[in-house]
C-alpha cells in the first residue's frame, strides 16, 4: 500500500484494516489505512466502479414541497434548525436531526445576513437552502454532481456540477458531509477557498478521527461507511491542511449524533443499517452518549468554521 495520506502527505500507515459495506450489505471487502503521522483514515483500494455503491435511494433528491403532514413536519424541522425557533420543529429534530441541525449557530458565527451570498456544495435536493430561503436569505446557490439537471426552487438555484468548475464568488461556502466522499479532499478544499470573497467564511462538516465510536467499534463503526467514505480526516490534520490553503479556523465543534452508537451496535451484530432499527430507547441512550463524547471532543463528526485569509 504505497498511497500517501491525502490529509498530510504522510507515506506510512500505522495499521491497515479490512472493512465491509454494511449499510446495504453489498459484497466486497475494503482496506483502510490509519496514517502514522496524522491519524486520518483513508480507503486504500478505491473500487473502480464506486457508483455501484450508491444504490437508488442512497441520495434523497425529493423536494418535500407538498402540503401533507410529513412534508410540513420536515419543513418545520428544517426551519427550527436555521432559526432556533419553533416547538414542533425542535421536537422533530430531537428524534431525527435534519441536515440543518445546528445551523442557527453557524450562520450567526459567520455573520450571515439576508444578503449573504451562500453556496452549498453537495447540496442534494437543497433542503438546507430551501429552509434558509423560507427564513429570508435571498442569495442561495447549491451545486451537486448527482442532480439530474439545473433547477430553481423559490429563490434557490440548484446547479448540476462541481465546485471545481464554478467561478462565482460567495460570502459563505458550506460543505455538509460531502468532503469524505471526494477523491481529492485537498483539491476540493482549495476550490472552496477559491470561491470565497475577501474575509468570507467556509463551513465544513465531516466525520472525523479519532473518536470514541471508532475506538470502540473499529471496522464496525457506522460512519466508516466503506467504501463510500474515501478519507476520514483527523480533525487537527484537517485544520492544518485548511490553514495551508488560506482557511483560518474560527471555531470547531464536535456535533456527532446518536447513530454513531446505535448504528455501530447494529453493525457489530452484522445487521445492515437499511434493515433494522433500535427503537426510541436505544436512540435516546445514544443521544446522551453522543453529547458526552462531543463535550470531550471525541464525537465522530465535527463542524469547522474557517475564514478566508
Ligand atoms: Zn496523514
pLDDT tens for residues 141-183?
Answer: 999 998 989 999 999 999 999 999 999 999 999 999 999 999 9
Q: Is the bond preceding residue 227 a cis peptide, omega within 30 degrees? A: yes
Residue at 7 is within a domain? no
**For residue 28, what are the CA distances in angstroms to 20, 152, 219, 264, 290?**
6, 39, 14, 19, 30
Q: Which pLDDT belongs to residue 65?
A: 46
Which residues of the chain form beta strands (DSSP E)? 13-20, 29-35, 41-43, 117-121, 139-144, 151-153, 156-160, 170-176, 196-207, 231-232, 247-254, 301-308
Inform me whether the pLDDT recorded for 269 exceeds 50: yes
> For residue 33, how far is its CA from the centre of ligand 1 (angstroms)?
10
Q: Which pLDDT belongs to residue 170?
A: 98
* pTM (2 d.p.): 0.88
Burial class, 277, CB count within 10 angstroms (exposed 0-12 / middle 13-18 / buried 19+): exposed
Average pLDDT (82-109) is: 61
User: Which grid coordinates are listed for 28?
Assistant: 466486497
Q: CA 265: distance to chain centroid?
A: 21
Q: Which pLDDT belongs to residue 101?
A: 75
Per the structure, the complete domain to which residue 130 belongs is given by 13-308
Identify the residue whose cell numbers are 458565527.
109
Is 131 in contact with 78 (CB distance < 8 Å)? yes
Residue at 233 is within a domain? yes
> For residue 10, how far is its CA from the centre of ligand 1 (angstroms)?
5
Inform me whether the pLDDT recorded for 36 exceeds 70: yes
Residue 273 backbone dihedrals phi, psi, to 5 degrees: -60, -30
> For residue 8, how far is its CA from the centre of ligand 1 (angstroms)?
4
pLDDT band at 90 (very low <50, low <70, confident <90, very high): very low
> For residue 187, how far is its CA from the centre of ligand 1 (angstroms)?
15
DSSP structure class, residue 3 = P
Average pLDDT (31-51) is: 96
**How many CA atoms within 13 Å lie on the side-chain side of 144?**
26
Q: Which pLDDT belongs to residue 80?
A: 54
Average pLDDT (79-92) is: 48
Is 246 in contact with 285 (CB distance < 8 Å)? no
Average pLDDT (276-288) is: 85
User: Which grid coordinates are listed for 76?
Assistant: 418545520
> For residue 237, how far is its CA from the centre of ligand 1 (angstroms)?
7
What percent of the chain clears pLDDT 70, i.e. is strictly above it?
85
> For residue 62, how far is its CA from the centre of ligand 1 (angstroms)?
37
Structurally, the chain folds into a number of domains equal to 1
Residue at 69 is within a domain? yes
Residue at 58 is within a domain? yes
> For residue 32, how far is its CA from the centre of ligand 1 (angstroms)?
13
What percent of the chain clears pLDDT 90, i.e. is strictly above it?
72
Averaged pLDDT of the chain:
88
Is 136 in contact with 112 (CB distance < 8 Å)? no
> For residue 11, how far is its CA from the centre of ligand 1 (angstroms)?
8
Question: Of the candidates 230, 99, 250, 108, which has an alpha carbon nearest to the alpha carbon of residue 175?
Answer: 99
Is 256 in contact with 294 (CB distance < 8 Å)? yes
Q: Which pLDDT belongs to residue 273?
A: 77
Least confident of 24-33, 52-61, 207-216, 259-268: 52-61
Q: Which pLDDT belongs to residue 66?
A: 44
> For residue 233, how far is its CA from the centre of ligand 1 (angstroms)?
8
Q: Which pLDDT belongs to residue 209?
A: 96
> For residue 232, how far is its CA from the centre of ligand 1 (angstroms)?
10
Question: Of the candidates 299, 206, 309, which has an alpha carbon nearest to the alpha carbon of residue 250?
Answer: 309
> For residue 298, how far is its CA from the centre of ligand 1 (angstroms)?
19
Q: When comparing pLDDT for 97 and 205, which is higher?
A: 205
Residues 226-236 have pLDDT tens digits of 999 999 999 99
Q: When comparing pLDDT for 168 and 51, which is higher?
A: 168
> For residue 252, how far is its CA from the centre of ligand 1 (angstroms)?
19
> For residue 226, how far is its CA from the centre of ligand 1 (angstroms)?
19
Inform me whether the pLDDT recorded for 51 exceeds 90: no
> For residue 199, how far is its CA from the centre of ligand 1 (angstroms)?
28
pLDDT band at 70 (very low <50, low <70, confident <90, very high): very low
Residues by chain with Cβ below 5 Å of ion ligand 1: 5, 7-8, 10, 35, 37-38, 40
The answer for residues whose C-beta is within 8 angstroms of residue 279's C-beta and 6 or more apart is none
Q: Which pLDDT belongs to residue 82?
A: 57
Q: What is the distance between the alpha carbons of residues 38 and 220, in angstroms, rounded to a whole number?
A: 22
Q: The domain that contains 218 carries what CATH number?
A: 3.40.50.150
Residue at 2 is within a domain? no
The answer for residues whose C-beta is within 8 angstroms of residue 222's C-beta and 6 or more apart is 22, 213, 259, 260, 263, 264, 266, 267, 273
Q: Which pLDDT belongs to residue 98?
A: 57
Q: Which pLDDT belongs to residue 81?
A: 56
DSSP structure class, residue 223 = G
Gap between the terminal Cα atoms of the chain = 36
Q: When comparing pLDDT for 108 and 282, which is higher?
A: 108
DSSP structure class, residue 309 = -
Residues in the chain: 309
Residues 107-149 have pLDDT tens digits of 999 999 999 999 999 998 899 999 999 999 999 999 999 898 9
User: Which grid coordinates are listed for 135?
Assistant: 427564513
Is 159 in contact with 142 (CB distance < 8 Å)? yes
> For residue 77, how far is its CA from the centre of ligand 1 (angstroms)?
37
Q: What is the distance between the alpha carbons of residues 87 and 267, in angstroms, rounded to a whole number?
A: 34
Q: Which pLDDT belongs to residue 282?
A: 84
Q: What is the distance between the alpha carbons of residues 194 and 180, in angstroms, rounded to a whole number?
A: 19
Amino acid at each position: 500500500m504505497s498511497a500517501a495520506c491525502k490529509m498530510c502527505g504522510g507515506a506510512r500507515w500505522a495499521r491497515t484494516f479490512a472493512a465491509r459495506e454494511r449499510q446495504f450489505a453489498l459484497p466486497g471487502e475494503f482496506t483502510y489505512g490509519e496514517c502514522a503521522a496524522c491519524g486520518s483514515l483513508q480507503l486504500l483500494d478505491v473500487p473502480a466502479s464506486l457508483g455501484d455503491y450508491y444504490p437508488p435511494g442512497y441520495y434523497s433528491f425529493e423536494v418535500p414541497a407538498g402540503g401533507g403532514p410529513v412534508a410540513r413536519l420536515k419543513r418545520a424541522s428544517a426551519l427550527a434548525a436555521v432559526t432556533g425557533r419553533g416547538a414542533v420543529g425542535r421536537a422533530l429534530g430531537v428524534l431525527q436531526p435534519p441536515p440543518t441541525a445546528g445551523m442557527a449557530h453557524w450562520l450567526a458565527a459567520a455573520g450571515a445576513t439576508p444578503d449573504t451570498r451562500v453556496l452549498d456544495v453537495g447540496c442534494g435536493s437543497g433542503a438546507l437552502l430551501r429552509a434558509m430561503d423560507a427564513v429570508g436569505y435571498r442569495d442561495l446557490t447549491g451545486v451537486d454532481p448527482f442532480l439530474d439537471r439545473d433547477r430553481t426552487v423559490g429563490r434557490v438555484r440548484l446547479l448540476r456540477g462541481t465546485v471545481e468548475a464554478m467561478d462565482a464568488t460567495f460570502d459563505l461556502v458550506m460543505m455538509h458531509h460531502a468532503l469524505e466522499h471526494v477523491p481529492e479532499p485537498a483539491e476540493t478544499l482549495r476550490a472552496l477557498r477559491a470561491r470565497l470573497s475577501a474575509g468570507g467564511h467556509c463551513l465544513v462538516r465531516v466525520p472525523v478521527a479519532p473518536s470514541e465510536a471508532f475506538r470502540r467499534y473499529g471496522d464496525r463503526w457506522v460512519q466508516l461507511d466503506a467504501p463510500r467514505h474515501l478519507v476520514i480526516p483527523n480533525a487537527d490534520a484537517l485544520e492544518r491542511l485548511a490553514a495551508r490553503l488560506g482557511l483560518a479556523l474560527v471555531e470547531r465543534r464536535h456535533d456527532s449524533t446518536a447513530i454513531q452508537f446505535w448504528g455501530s451496535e447494529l453493525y457489530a451484530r452484522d445487521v445492515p443499517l437499511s434493515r433494522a432499527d433500535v427503537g426510541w430507547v436505544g436512540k435516546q441512550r445514544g443521544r446522551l452518549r453522543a453529547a458526552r463524547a462531543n463535550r470531550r471532543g471525541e464525537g465522530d463528526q465535527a463542524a469547522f468554521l474557517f475564514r478566508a485569509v
